[in-house]
Chains A and B, each alone.
Chain A
Amino acid sequence: MGLKVFGFKGGVHPFHRKESTQDKAVERMQAPKLVYIPLQQHIGAPCEPLVKPGDHVKLGQKIGQPKGFVGAPVHASVSGVVKEIKQVPHPAMGQGLAVVIENDGKDELDEFIVPKDIESLSAEELKDLILEAGIVGMGGAAFPTHVKLSPPKDKNIDVVILNGAECEPYLTADHRLMVENPRDVVDGLKAIMKVLGVKRGYIAIENNKPDAVCVIANAVKSVPGVEVIQLKTKYPQGAEKQLIYAVTGRQVPSGGLPMDVGVVVNNVGTAAAIARAIKTGMPLIERIVTVTGGGVAQPKNLLVRIGTPFKDVVEACGGLLGQPAKVISGGPMMGIAQYTLDVPVIKGTSGILVLTKQEVEMPEPGPCIRCGKCVEACPMRLMPLFISAYALKGDYDRSEKLHAMDCIECGCCSYICPARRPLVQSIRTAKRVITERRRRTASAK
């Protein structure tokens, strides 16, 4: 491992605010009385429920089957009785159908759950196992992992990168995972490399986590072809395209995917989930969640069963501290503000942020002063001020010409804007409209 530190152009340096949880070991949270497991965990079609109210389910039992290739099954995160299947608040989609299970507290194991060994499984078997275990991207978007691991034949993949940047302020879930469980991270990477037949693997970590760099570097010493890369600490270092550039120097073409430049990126949490699914046979039924912010009495990193309501998780951290102003699922730069604490933890929930009034600024937009700070900060080197100005005027054609569709919605522009212009917010709207238009012209043809 060299001392060289890799980065990208642009970006911003928000306060880290990681101090309150970065040194706290992950605690296992007691499973709640009721879990609400959404049948849809990510974009795409929701799962078909495999159970009905009144059914007894065991821990790890498959309860939802995806309808297409771009989907992952969901599993019972407790043993007990299915109470109902109903619409519940959803942290990423507002509302969604969920299986409600009453926990019997026995954690009775499903009989399909048998430990296996990476070495003895073939690439195909590994990929099936990853699909069956319901593994999705744990960094936030929760995209089904087996899809990422099935590139078309003509794409020549030669590099796998594990994303351990964790560049969002406040979040420390990946950091703790790397420090406490480097074995799983590395074994997961090995499994991914085996599935893709790739010989080169990198684990990329921001250099504000020297302990994680150290531990992981030790763990990969004896693994051929795998290296730790230190990244500059800046946001959005963990964004896929910026990460690929920092590690390999390659640029994903506009409108393309990482596989177009021979790279597959997975989160360190995803790799660890894969390793655990192989080694224990247990599908993805729990994840590490950073619970923090000024509105939480005792900020913690918790290992939480999927489907646990946010309010139970906050309770497990000593409850609320005063009046919460904002609750965010994920980090403060890209996370989603929640309207209720009744939403359940899903596979992509990396953090629960409870912010107080003092921590929340309500932006009051003024006129753009043309300071150029958004241009300098944009990691995609776009011109946010112009794209946004056209978008706000409804001139989406001009927005599109200025590459609105290349925006990764990292929020750097809005973060840095001294006039508090709603930059990424309006660009997001433009992207939606442009996508919709493209879809319509495509279907009209």
Chain B
Amino acid sequence: MEPLIVSSSPHVYSEDTTARIMRDVVLALLPAAAVAVYFFGGRAALIMAISVLSAVMTEAVVQKLMKKPVTVNDWSAAVTGLMLAFNLPPTVPLWLPAVGSAIAIALVKQAFGGLGHNFMNPALAARAILLAAWPVYMTTWADPIRVAMSAAAADAISSATPLAILKGMEGTEAQLPPLWAIILGNTRGCLGETSDVALLLGAVYLLWRRVINWRIPFSFIGTVALLTWILGPQGLFTGNAIYHIFSGGLILGAFYMATDYSSSPVTPKGQIIMGIGCGIITSIIRVYGGYPEGVTYSILLMNVAAPLIDRFTMPRIYGEVRADV
């Protein structure tokens, strides 16, 4: 008889593994990726491919150089690459996603110790860096190629992004594209941000697979809805909360970015605080700030606070006699 395996309990494990979770995230992003290609054409596919490839290769090279085991098969680099592509306008030059992914992996993820140690969401941090370095490329929007689909849509899609209009920065409210165009993704914006239907489809999948839980996304979106409604342009309670929810990067940010494990709190209470915090900052930037969009910065700011939030929201343990705190 072969020797029996002796190890300490437990002797069984759940089916969840790191790789399975990351693969699930990629799967969840696929519908939105497909919509991006549908609306923005082959270039969208190219951007996504380059971004993912660059992320995976950077991870492999950096790990080789640092003499660490190469872990690209855990899918986490692929997730970062795809997430970054989702945050780029469809007009960027093709070298930009390559550079962006390399920054995300080498600078934000691996330099801090790799998976689980990065204190910011790598894709978002890279986006912020790109935005600072190449602001023109990062804010040049293109009309979806399917504009001609219907006359209504052709009218609807103006040269400004919906959020800029909402803010009164460009155009007037009359120029707002119809809500259905925004929700479907037939509007201007980053590759993956625009189609809320596709993103929500993936989000339902992630919730169902328990890859993410409701706490961060629901508290994030709920807070934005409430605050943008209250702080409306024509005085209190005049805001267009529905447009705010479905415009810009809120759905992508709330379900896919803010929920990034490494850079968000692990305690249940902490996750709700993270969501509310993101919501408040996003709303303030959207309503009062210099940029039309605030999702990226709100998440990055809350990322920095996450370790602190964890420390102050430790659950009260079973049977704890609270003498100290």
Question: Is B11 on the interface with A (CB-CB < 8 A)?
Answer: yes
What 0/1 pattern do residues 1 to 33 of B give for CB contact below 8 A with A?
Answer: 111111111111110111011000000000000
A residues less than 8 Å from B116 (CB atoms): 367-370, 419
Question: Is B174 on the interface with A (CB-CB < 8 A)?
Answer: no
Question: Is B268 on the interface with A (CB-CB < 8 A)?
Answer: yes
CB-contacts of A6-27 with B (<8 A): 12, 14-15
User: Are A361 and B16 within 8 A (Cβ)?
Assistant: no
In the complex with contacts A361-B13, A383-B314, A428-B319 CB distance below 8 A: no
User: Are A370 and B4 within 8 A (Cβ)?
Assistant: no
* Partner among B10, B74, B262, B320 whose Cβ is within 8 Å of the Cβ of A333: B10
For A402, give the chain B residue with the smallest CB separation.
B314
B residues less than 8 Å from A340 (CB atoms): 4
A residues less than 8 Å from B10 (CB atoms): 332-334, 411, 414-415, 424
For A235, give the chain B residue with the smallest CB separation.
B10
In the complex with contacts A251-B319, A340-B4, A372-B267, A332-B20 CB distance below 8 A: no
A180 to B277, CA, bound (A): 57
User: Are A245 and B115 within 8 A (Cβ)?
Assistant: no
Question: Is B317 on the interface with A (CB-CB < 8 A)?
Answer: yes
A93 to B105, CA, bound (A): 48
Question: Is B297 on the interface with A (CB-CB < 8 A)?
Answer: no
A residues less than 8 Å from B11 (CB atoms): 326, 328, 332-333, 335, 337, 353, 355, 360
B residues less than 8 Å from A256 (CB atoms): 319
User: Are B268 and A418 within 8 A (Cβ)?
Assistant: no
Question: Is A420 on the interface with B (CB-CB < 8 A)?
Answer: yes
CB-contacts of B184-241 with A (<8 A): 213
Question: Is A253 on the interface with B (CB-CB < 8 A)?
Answer: yes
Question: Is B38 on the interface with A (CB-CB < 8 A)?
Answer: no
What 0/1 pattern do residues 255 to 270 of B give for CB contact below 8 A with A?
Answer: 0000001101111100
Question: Is B42 on the interface with A (CB-CB < 8 A)?
Answer: no
A375 to B14, CA, bound (A): 15
For B8, give the chain A residue with the smallest CB separation.
A425
Question: Is B95 on the interface with A (CB-CB < 8 A)?
Answer: no
Question: Is A371 on the interface with B (CB-CB < 8 A)?
Answer: yes
CB-contacts of A326-380 with B (<8 A): 326-328, 332-340, 353, 355, 359-363, 366-373, 375-376, 379-380
Question: Is A324 on the interface with B (CB-CB < 8 A)?
Answer: yes
A169 to B12, CA, bound (A): 10
User: Are B4 and A385 within 8 A (Cβ)?
Assistant: no
A residues less than 8 Å from B265 (CB atoms): 372
In the complex with contacts A254-B321, A334-B9, A418-B18, A372-B315 CB distance below 8 A: no
A residues less than 8 Å from B268 (CB atoms): 372, 375-376
B residues less than 8 Å from A355 (CB atoms): 11
A residues less than 8 Å from B71 (CB atoms): 366
A residues less than 8 Å from B14 (CB atoms): 12, 14, 415-416, 418
For A355, give the chain B residue with the smallest CB separation.
B11
B residues less than 8 Å from A411 (CB atoms): 9-10
Question: Is B161 on the interface with A (CB-CB < 8 A)?
Answer: no
CB distance from A329 to the nearest CB of B (A): 11
For A245, give the chain B residue with the smallest CB separation.
B318
Chain A residues with a Cβ closer than 8 Å to the other chain, count? 64
B residues less than 8 Å from A335 (CB atoms): 9, 11
* Partner among A362, A381, A418 whose Cβ is within 8 Å of the Cβ of B318: A381
A residues less than 8 Å from B114 (CB atoms): 367
A residues less than 8 Å from B298 (CB atoms): none
User: Are A371 and B13 within 8 A (Cβ)?
Assistant: no
For A413, give the chain B residue with the smallest CB separation.
B10
Question: Is B316 on the interface with A (CB-CB < 8 A)?
Answer: yes
A414 to B7, CA, bound (A): 13
For A17, give the chain B residue with the smallest CB separation.
B12
B residues less than 8 Å from A198 (CB atoms): none
B residues less than 8 Å from A428 (CB atoms): 8
In the complex with contacts A323-B1, A333-B11, A360-B5, A371-B267 CB distance below 8 A: no
In the complex with contacts A372-B266, A424-B9, A418-B17 CB distance below 8 A: yes
Question: Is B146 on the interface with A (CB-CB < 8 A)?
Answer: no
User: Are A337 and B20 within 8 A (Cβ)?
Assistant: no
A368 to B266, CA, bound (A): 12
Question: Is A252 on the interface with B (CB-CB < 8 A)?
Answer: yes
Question: Is A113 on the interface with B (CB-CB < 8 A)?
Answer: no
In the complex with contacts A340-B4, A370-B116, A383-B314, A406-B18 CB distance below 8 A: no
A residues less than 8 Å from B321 (CB atoms): 253-254
Question: Is B117 on the interface with A (CB-CB < 8 A)?
Answer: yes
CB-contacts of B153-188 with A (<8 A): none
A residues less than 8 Å from B315 (CB atoms): 375, 381-383
B residues less than 8 Å from A419 (CB atoms): 17-18, 116
User: Are A254 and B117 within 8 A (Cβ)?
Assistant: no
A338 to B4, CA, bound (A): 7
Question: Is A403 on the interface with B (CB-CB < 8 A)?
Answer: yes
CB distance from A93 to the nearest CB of B (A): 14
A240 to B69, CA, bound (A): 42
CB distance from B150 to the nearest CB of A (A): 43
CB distance from B119 to the nearest CB of A (A): 10
Question: Is B271 on the interface with A (CB-CB < 8 A)?
Answer: yes
For B22, give the chain A residue with the smallest CB separation.
A369
A105 to B267, CA, bound (A): 60
Indicate the member of B20, B315, B319, B321 with the most A CB atoms within 10 Å. Answer: B319
24 inter-chain pairs at a CB distance below 8 angstroms, sorted by A residue, are A252-B318, A252-B319, A325-B4, A326-B5, A333-B12, A334-B9, A335-B11, A337-B5, A353-B11, A360-B5, A361-B12, A367-B115, A369-B18, A369-B116, A371-B261, A375-B267, A380-B319, A381-B315, A383-B266, A383-B267, A418-B14, A418-B16, A420-B13, A420-B17
Question: B interface vs A, CB < 8 Å?
Answer: 1-14, 16-18, 20-21, 71, 74, 76, 114-117, 213, 261-262, 264-268, 271, 314-321
Ranked 5 nearest A-B pairs via Cβ: A411-B10, A372-B266, A381-B315, A418-B16, A332-B11
Extra 20 A-B pairs, beta carbons < 8 Å, given A323-B2, A337-B6: A14-B12, A169-B12, A323-B1, A325-B5, A327-B4, A355-B11, A360-B5, A366-B18, A366-B74, A369-B76, A372-B265, A372-B271, A403-B320, A406-B318, A415-B14, A417-B13, A418-B17, A419-B17, A419-B116, A424-B8
